Amino acid sequence: MDEVQHKFVDVGGLKLHVAEIGTGPNVVLFLHGFPEIWYSWRHQMIALANAGFQAIAPDHRGYGLSNPPTQPDKASFAEILTDLLSLLDALQIAKVFLVAKDFGVWPAYLLAVLHPERVLGMVTIGVPLKPKRSAFHQYLPEGFYMSRWRVWEPGRAEADFGRLDVKTVVRNIYILFSRSEIPMAAENQEIMDLVDLSTPLPPWFTEEDLATYGALYEKSGFQTTLQVPYRSSGDDPNITDPKVKVPVLLIMGGKNYILRFQGIEDYINNGEMNELVPDLEIKFLPEGTHFVQEQSPDEVNQLILTFLAKNV
């Protein structure tokens, strides 16, 4: 990964860590999810740079090497959107393609609908675009991982994570989110206990990868990461026109546990999503998990490059 360059960019007094590679005229901005950091895009960034694109991947505020907000318990998606606009301005980038995964899809959506003049097109991975973030916890038992990581039992998630080193927390979440079942704990069980210490990492995620994540989460911890995305669901903006007016490619793994959330598979497959995204292309990778861009990088890279070539 030596060819990837790193720097810090000031966004409103907060230092964002940014990884970048490539010098092409067309810029692709990568937005990670949880428990990821810029590194989750390593395969895509190199492939796009080799194809003549400039690839940029920040760590969101409070993630990885980026500074945390001054009040982590009040961090919001609105702040992430402001960070992205400030980052583009600081780097003097007028327009970008967006590639977003997991909760990164939401700020990508906000950027596309609230600032369409800055967006050329969008690839979303693992999560479909929706006009409002769904409250899936309303339809699932108390042991649903999103419910546990919210604030209904103050300190429970922090205690669950805190009894383990950060590397083990990331390991467990990668294993859980790589399964096709929704992570769900019993009443007297914690989410971290859903993974046995003897369970191996997914074959596409190495001990070296885990060490990279662990080292970066040693710096950031999990305070901001629990707030955004899990505890900031009330900051949805009032969007007057929710339609996405740029071309969008959705890449879904067929074994992504997100497909088991109520209504998601129908929303993707029955044409309802086209009402929000008229210019939509959907690609399923049958064996893909929630981390399909790390699991099957060659296939994902080719899908992204084909999409970019059509819309550049």
Q: Which residues of 124-152 are buried (b: 16+ CB within 10 A; e: fewer)?
A: bbbbbbbeebbebbeebeebbbbbbbbee
Measured CA to CA, the distance from residue 184 to residue 157 in angstroms comes to 14
Catalytic pick among 17, 60, 137, 290: 290
For this structure, is 196 an active site residue?
no
298 is known as an active-site residue:
no
Q: What is the DSSP annotation of 15-73?
A: EEEEEEE---SSEEEEE--SS--GGGGHHHHHHHHHTT-EEEEEPPTTSTTSPPPSSGG
Write a three-state SS string for 264-276.
HHHHHHCCHHHHH
Residue of 83, 102, 160, 209 with catalytic role = 102
Point out the catalytic residue in the list 145, 174, 213, 230: 230
Phi-psi region of 62 (alpha: psi -120 to 50; beta: other; left: phi over 0): left
What are the residue numbers of the active site? 102, 230, 290
